Amino acid sequence: MAVRMDAVGDFLLGSTNVPSGAVSASFWLYETGTTPTTDWFVWGIGGNTSSLTDAYGLWGNPSARTLTLYGPGAVSMLTTAALTINTWTFVALAGNTGASQSWTVWLNATAYTGTSGASTAYLAGLVDLGASVEFASAWSDGRFAAYKHWTATLTTAQMQAERWTYLPQRWDQLWACCPLLHTGALGDVTGQGHGFAPTGTPTTEDGPALAWGSHLPMGQWYTGGPSVAPAAVSRPPRRSLARFMRRAA
C-alpha cells in the first residue's frame, strides 16, 4: 500500500529537523498528474519555509514531466530527469548540504549528477514529501511509499540495493525508515521518532510491488513497530554437525 496526495493541500511533513551535511534519501513515487498544477514538488528539506534560500527541493515541471533538484538560492543543480507518469518510479538522491557540493539523483537505475551552486552551507530543517519548500501551493499529485533517509552519501550500488524492499539494506547512519503503508502508519520504524505527520487529507491506495524484508541488525526483530531485541527468545538446542548427520542417517 501507499499514501496518496491529491495536489490540493496534501503533503507529509517530517517531525524532526534533518541534520545538515551528508544526506541520502529514497522512496517510490507514482505521479499521476491528473490534477493540473503549475509546479509540484515531490521532496524537499526546509519544512515549507516559503523560501529556497536555505532549502533543497526536487521540483516537477507539469508540462515537461521532468524532475530537477534545486538548491539554496533556487539554483538548478543537475540536468532534468524525465519522469514517466502513471508508473511507479524509484526516486533516490544523495549529496551534501554544504557549499558547492556534488549531488546525484536516481530515477530507477538512471543517475543524474550536478553541483550545488550554494555559496553557504544549508542549516537543518524538516523533510517534505509531496509539497514545496518554496511555494505553498506546489503540491504533488501522486502516491508515495518506502521512504528511507540516511545521514551519509550513499553510492549508486548502495542505492540500488535499497530499491526493492521497504526495510533498509544499510542500517548504518540510517536517519529514518517510513514504509508509508497507509495514512495511519506514517511513523519511523527504526524507533528514532523521525516519522511524518499528515497535512490535508492524504488517502491510502495501492503501492509498489516490493518485498518487505531485509536483514535486521543482529539481535533485533521487527514486530510492526520499532526494532527491539526481546528479553528472551526460545532457541533450538545446539547440536554438533556430526551428531545431526548421524541422526539423519
pLDDT of residue 67: 80
Answer whether residue 57 is part of any domain. Answer: yes
- Structural domain boundaries, residue 117: 2-210
pLDDT of residue 140: 81
| pTM for the structure as a whole | 0.80
Answer whether residue 235 is part of any domain. Answer: no
For the chain, percent helix, then strand, then coil, each to nearest 5?
Answer: 5, 40, 55
pLDDT of residue 222: 38
pLDDT of residue 76: 61
pLDDT of residue 169: 92
Q: What is the count of structural domains for the chain?
A: 1
Q: How far is CA 4 from CA 32, 55, 182, 235, in A?
A: 10, 24, 9, 42
Answer whether residue 146 is part of any domain. Answer: yes
pLDDT of residue 17: 85
Are 95 and 103 contacting, i.e. CB atoms less than 8 angstroms apart?
A: yes
Answer whether residue 75 is part of any domain. Answer: yes
pLDDT of residue 245: 37
Domain harbouring 102, CATH code: 2.60.120.200
pLDDT of residue 120: 56
Answer whether residue 130 is part of any domain. Answer: yes
Answer whether residue 226 is part of any domain. Answer: no
Q: What is the mean pLDDT of each run of 10 residues along the chain (249 residues)?
A: 85 86 92 67 66 66 73 61 86 81 87 70 75 66 93 94 94 95 92 91 92 57 35 35 40
Answer whether residue 249 is part of any domain. Answer: no
pLDDT of residue 248: 39
